[in-house]
Structure 1
Amino acid sequence: MKTKIVLIAIFSLICAQGFSQDSFGSVNYSIGLPSGDLKDFTDNVSGRGVAVDYAFMLKSNVSIGFGIGLQTFYEEKGYSSLTDGTQTLSGKQFNYVNALPLYINGAYYFGNSPNVKPYLGIGLGTMYVDKRADIGIFEVVNDGWAFLVKPEVGLQYKAAANIGLNLSYRYNYASDIDNVGSMTYSSVMIGAVWFY
């Protein structure tokens, strides 16, 4: 077992060296803006989100990578009634949605400036959605996996040799899930970038 761990560590270091000077990682703070079925369930803008991305450059202006994120939404609905099947629940209602997108992405970078790079990107993957309605002491939970398409427009600013800033706007389109709906939202993101 120890031999396997050592081999995996060595392989990871070799791969990281292979991508060095041509790859970057970013950690982004995300503000989520709900739309569609999600807006009907939780109408509030959410400042509770994060995304972590890693990409390497195929050419000087094209990157490919992968990422994961988490965006949470919450809204207090007040006193209401909810019917689920043959049961009706009444009480103070709180709605929660947790969205976990997992994706691969590609981006095209415009311009020749080494420090400021506007870009357009697209991501494909899946999103796990956990949708909850708490009414009094009862909880109605619906969850599932959806197909994800994630177009993005952004700007990378290289502040120093190995660090920079990322500003972007993402539209996270998730396909319809039974008993959940389409949990589509936009993200306004700001984050730190590390160039390798």
Structure 2
Amino acid sequence: MKYLYAILLCSIGHSALAQSYASAQYSINFPMGNTADFISKPSFRGLTFDYRYEVTPRILVGVSAGWYTFYNEAGYDSYTSKDESITASGQQFRYMNSVPLLVMADYYFSEADLKPFVGVGLGTTYNRVDLEMGMYTWRADPWQFSVAPEAGLAYKIAEGTSALVSVRYNMSFSSRDLDSQSFLGLNLGLVTSLGR
């Protein structure tokens, strides 16, 4: 029993010393796979917000949320619905809004001012896909299981503040209403310490 108390006290002591961090990032996203088949243009409209808690100086866990919008004017084309019940032709406008909600884990290779890291996220993504053609709109808006591996660099620019650059591959798996969606995101932002 004494050992259990000792372990508990050490854990509480470590938690009191552990830091937490918040970051805001501007995200540029490049469609891949089925997403690129539907919308080929990169998106310059994206935001990512992250929170991390320091488990050890090199291992951080937390959450991530983002909002990324894609748009493409496809010109005159034909479109067949997924269930093949409708085919229409006309000037097409294609949109996708992607909102991932992920649980993240990161590993930092260094404790110096320049910190390379890798991470992975698991969770769900709300993907709303719209195809507008004249007076008609086709829409799919499922929640899809998602995985998001990431690699990046954090560089300390002031006490408690670091600049961040990372590349994250966002992959949402097929659901009943929508095929798998994927895109590669370039994230640029700032990380701020929230204290101990």
Indicate whether the TM-score tops 0.5. Answer: yes
> Could you say which TM-score interval applies, normalised by the shorter chain?
0.7 to 0.9
Write the distance in 1 (CA, Å) between the matches of 2:68 and 2:94: 14
2:31 matches 1:34 = yes
Q: What residue is the counterpart of 2:72 in the other structure?
A: 75
Mapped to 2, the partners of 1:87 and 1:38 lie a distance apart of 21
2:42 paired residue number: 45
Whole-Å Cα distance in 1 between the matches of residues 87 and 76 of structure 2?
13
- Seen in structure 2, the aligned counterparts of structure 1 residues 19 and 90 have a Cα distance that, compared at 3 Å, is farther
TM-score (norm 1): 0.86
The corresponding residue for 2:163 is 165
- 1:156 maps onto 2:131 in alignment: no
Match of 2:91 in 1: 92
Q: Which amino acid in 2 is paired with 1:87?
A: I
Aligned 8 A contact 1:21 1:195 in 2: no
**Identity across matched positions, percent:** 35
Q: What is the root-mean-square deviation of aligned Cα atoms in Å?
A: 1.5
Aligned-pair CA distance for 1:88:
3.0
**Structure 1, gaps ≥5 residues long:** 1-17
How many residue pairs were aligned? Answer: 178
SS at match of 1:60: coil
CA distance in 1 between counterparts of 2:88 and 2:127 reads: 23
Any conservation in 2 of the 1:111–1:117 contact (CA below 8 Å)?
Answer: yes
Assess, with a 3 A threshold, how the Cα gap between structure 1 residues 166 and 101 changes in structure 2: closer, same or farther: same
Moved more, 176-185 or 186-195: 176-185
Deviation at 1:90, TM superposition (A): 2.3
Give the unaligned 5+ runs of structure 2. 1-14
Q: Is the 8 A contact 2:18 2:55 kept in 1?
A: no
Normalised TM-score (structure 2) = 0.86
Judge conservation of contact 1:90–1:136 (CA < 8 Å) in 2. no
Indicate the residue corresponding to 2:175 in structure 1: 177
Q: Is the 8 A contact 2:18 2:54 kept in 1?
A: no
Note the 1:5-24 alignment, pairs <5 A: 22-24=19-21
